[in-house]
Structures are given as structure tokens and as C-alpha cells.
Amino acid sequence: MDAARDVTRIETRLSRDLGLLEVTMIGVGAMIGAGIFVLTGIAAGLAGPALMLAFALNGVICFLTAMAYAELGSTFPEAGGGYIWVK
């Protein structure tokens, strides 16, 4: 017999163990990243006071993105995030 045919499949499922704090921190880390610490000084030198307006507009866009993911999370109450929606 072929060894590849002797392999038994083990069915695994994702579990929803992340709470609000964990998901929020993952979202903040993904949206902000480390670039905010490196590039802020350079951007302030180039944009001047308009940098604060750019940050405010970026905050609005990030908020709208977070609300879209919150809606997806409540529509598909399964583990898997955006993959479940695409699937």
C-alpha cells in the first residue's frame, strides 16, 4: 500500500477565542503599524500643520473600515474573518 493513502484526516475547526480587547489591538496594529513612529517626523517637515488634517482624515477612513469589519463579524458569526465572506 502507498503510505500517502494510509494517512487519516483529522477534522479541525477554528474557535472564536479572541475578545474585544484582542481584536481591537490587532486592528490598531494593522492600521497604524510601526510606520507612524518612523515617518511622522518626515511627514511633519514636508506637510507642516496639514499633517494633523491628514491624520484626522485617515482616522475617519480607519473607523469606516473597522465598522465594515464589525458588520461582517456580526453577519457571519464564525471564526475565519474575511475568508468566510469571500468563501
| pLDDT (tens digit per residue) in 29-78 | 887 777 777 788 888 889 898 999 988 998 899 899 889 888 887 887 77
DSSP secondary-structure letter at 38? H
Give the pLDDT score at 62: 86
66 with 53: CB under 8 angstroms? no
Give the pLDDT score at 4: 58
Backbone torsions φ then ψ of 52, nearest 5 degrees: -65, -40
Q: Which of 73, 62, 74 is nearest to 27 (CA)?
A: 62
